[in-house]
Amino acid sequence: MATDMDRPSRPLPLLVLLPGMDGTGMMFTPFIEALHHRLDTKVVRYPEALTSYPDCLAFAREQLPLGRPFLLLGESFSGPIAIAVAAEQPQGLAGLVLCSTFARNPRPGLAWMAPILSALPPKRLPLALLRRLLLSRQPSGPLLALVRAMLPQVPIATLKARLLAVMAIDHTPLLEQVQVPILALVAAHDRLIPKAAVDWIRAHRSDLDIVTLKGPHWLLQTRPEACVQAIQAFIERNQTTSASTRP
């Protein structure tokens, strides 16, 4: 009879990263550096012309790896995209990670503002506002430099259109179609996405694995090591569970 020592170790999945509203993938840099090559990664970068959820979903679908297991991570804006991809049950998908994100408009009480937002002229977002909403009170110099480098890469019209898409999205019905384990990384001090957003997901997925970390909305940027540890533990738990259920 074969023993655990005789069985080959299971390969670690590729980590496919779906970016936040900027779509550039640049803000994954601190997280990827914290991985120290413990996991291979693939960063999906949305072209600036893609602003609707259906268009971003179609683009993300084409970036999925073939012939190897992978873990899908959707950050913030990309949470609904990651849910939609996982609901399609693509071959090789081993798990879903939702980071500081939502399945439906996280602030439905503000949906009435959509027509006003559509009429507003595009204006550059002040860095001070971004720091308050997305970062801690004293972000590191390298992180601020990364934000300053990212902002000019994204037209304000693109950001506005994606924000309008968030206000109309609701992928709640797709949650029950996801057949892989789901991990939610939640920021304890998120000023952008309220706790009600993850509570809503848990109400429709009682098996949701939740890890709450001290930090702002940009968890992968400000708590990269803690996020890496949470994801590694998630992979190990589910590989162990999967092995224990095999005959």
Q: Which two three-digit tokens encode residue 106?
A: 């996280």
**pLDDT of 139 strictly over 80:** no
Entry pTM = 0.88
- Looking at residue 60, its pLDDT comes to 98
Asked if residue 79 has pLDDT above 90, the reply is: yes
Q: What is the pLDDT of residues 164-211, one digit of tens each?
A: 999 999 999 999 999 999 999 999 999 899 999 999 999 999 999 999
pLDDT at 7: 43
pLDDT digits (tens, 9 = 90+) for 205-240: 999 999 999 999 999 999 999 999 999 999 999 887
Nearest-angstrom CA–CA distance, 38 and 16 = 14
State the pLDDT at residue 156: 87
> Which of 197 and 118 is assigned the larger pLDDT?
197
- Gap between the Cα atoms of 184 and 240, Å rounded: 19
pLDDT per residue as tens digits for the range 22-52: 999 999 999 999 999 889 999 999 999 999 9
Q: What is 14-245's CATH superfamily? A: Alpha/Beta hydrolase fold, catalytic domain (3.40.50.1820)
Q: How many CB atoms lie within 10 A of CB 159?
A: 20
> In a 3-state reduction of DSSP, which class is residue 210?
strand
Q: What are the residue ranges spanned by the domains of the chain?
A: 14-245
Confidence tier at 110 by pLDDT (50, 70, 90): low
CA distances from 241 to 5, 116, 151, 181, 236 (A): 17, 49, 42, 11, 8
In this prediction, residue 127 has a pLDDT band, given cuts at 50, 70 and 90, of low
- Helix axes of 53-62 and 79-87: crossing angle, nearest 10 degrees: 60
pLDDT at 11: 73
Do residues 59 and 46 touch, judged by C-beta distance below 8 A? yes
